Amino acid sequence: MEQQLRGKGEQEENLQRQLREMEQRCNKKEQRRSSLERELRDRDQDLVELNKTLSEAEKKLKECKCKEKRDWIIPRDAIVITDKRLGEGGWGYVVKGKYCGSAVAVKRLFKNVVISPRNRRKFEREMDIASRCRHPCLLQFIGATNDEESLLFVTELMESSLQQLLDKQPLTDGEVFTISLDVARALSYLHKKKPPILHRDVSSPNVLLWRRDDQWRAKVSDYGTANFLQETMTANPGAMIYSAPEACARTQTVKVGNRCVKLSWLLFTCMINFESIYLRNGPRRPCV
């Protein structure tokens, strides 16, 4: 009996020892689990901080790229503006000015135009497009302001516009040919950009003239209604009398070839000065 009791005591001790060992292993595993959870929380926190740092870096990179892309910005106090008005458009007018000692044309917004974020984006779009265009038959873009005051857009100064010249005198066949060729070269350059740029307002006020010897030469101006190909579904862009018939429809198709209608209508204007007849008699467009 005594031997049986000793055997049971040893078994109980063995069981208790095994239980303690199991408890120790459980405690170690619990500590390991707690340690892993703590490491996971630390890594999650590191990931949050890394994402925050990455977001800030991307924002700064975007700002740097924006500044690099918009190297057209010039200080307002560097522009001298006169009271001599050269012309006006749908949302601004052009006056004569000076920049770095040279005579320039300065486009200003009308006073009733609110400088809303939308208007500012529209103005910046015009300058972004102009700053990427370099061609002898496009009006040279010099720069622009981009502060909180009224926006200014500075270009080279030209002698006249096609509209002003047509109001004074008819064009000779040679002048029609030369001006038309210059306009066609400018549009060809815009259409060959990647992505293509559609001016969408090729009209006589936007064809500016200068003289080489005794001959008028032309440069296309005003990129206010220009747009990249993927954004050209706006109905009735630019002057109505120069628009292709399908441009009046909301379901118009995007085809660079359709711009030939505007160029053809501009040539027709040069030949018979139809625009002055249109302005006198109203918007009744004849069949051509």
Q: Which residues contact 15 (CB under 8 A, 6 or more apart)?
A: none
Q: Give me the amino acid identity at 100.
A: C
**Active site includes 147?**
no
User: Annotated catalytic residue: which of 77, 201, 213, 222?
Assistant: 201
3, β-bridge pairs: none
Q: Concatenated DSSP letters for the chain?
A: -HHHHHHHHHHHHHHHHHHHHHHHHHHHHHHHHHHHHHHHHHHHHHHHHHHHHHHHHHHHHHHHHHHHHTTTB--GGGEEEEEEEEEE-SSEEEEEEEETTEEEEEEEE-TTS---HHHHHHHHHHHHHHHT---TTBPPEEEE--SSS--EEEEE--SEEHHHHHHH-PPPHHHHHHHHHHHHHHHHHHHTSSS-EE-----GGGEEEEEETTEEEEEE---TT-EEGGG---SS-S-GGGS-GGGGSTT----GGGHHHHHHHHHHHHHH-HHHHHHHH-S-PPP-
Which residues are catalytic, by number?
201
